[in-house]
């Protein structure tokens, strides 16, 4: 049992290291984080519903997760093949497109949630 708990705590340690790398070394992560804080601020100002909070939090988590996966894939690709390779470029472009798709979806969700509150002003 002690080994299990020790291994789990090490896993969490690795995950928190990843979050540190993500925020310290990924400029786009900081941009996404600022936009997320803006959305959270709007949620507080407009007192959005519990359901809207759930959708907002899930959307923020989706975008940040996609950006983290994209950054991890880019790091792995750069380490494995330092010189230009068309398949590495394709993989990196596809991973970046996942972030873009998630971000555009988040923008639409933000519009659907916050536009009625803003228009009511």
Give Cα 2 distance to the centre of its chain.
Answer: 33
Maximum separation of any 2 CA atoms in the chain, in Å? 57
84: left (phi over 0), alpha (psi -120 to 50) or beta: beta
Give the SS3 label for residue 8: helix
Task: List, by residue number, the catalytic residues.
Answer: 67
């Amino acid at each position: 049992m002690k080994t299990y708990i020790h291994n789990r705590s090490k896993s969490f340690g690795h995950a928190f290291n990843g979050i540190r790398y993500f925020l310290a070394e990924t400029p786009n992560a900081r941009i996404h984080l600022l936009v997320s804080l803006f959305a959270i601020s709007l949620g507080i100002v407009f007192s959005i519903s519990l359901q809207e909070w759930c959708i907002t939090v899930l959307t923020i988590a989706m975008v940040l997760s996609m950006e983290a996966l994209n950054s991890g894939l880019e790091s792995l690709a750069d380490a494995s093949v330092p010189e230009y390779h068309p398949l590495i470029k394709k993989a990196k472009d596809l991973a970046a497109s996942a972030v873009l798709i998630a971000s555009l979806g988040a923008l639409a969700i933000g519009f659907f949630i916050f536009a009625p509150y803003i228009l009511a002003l």
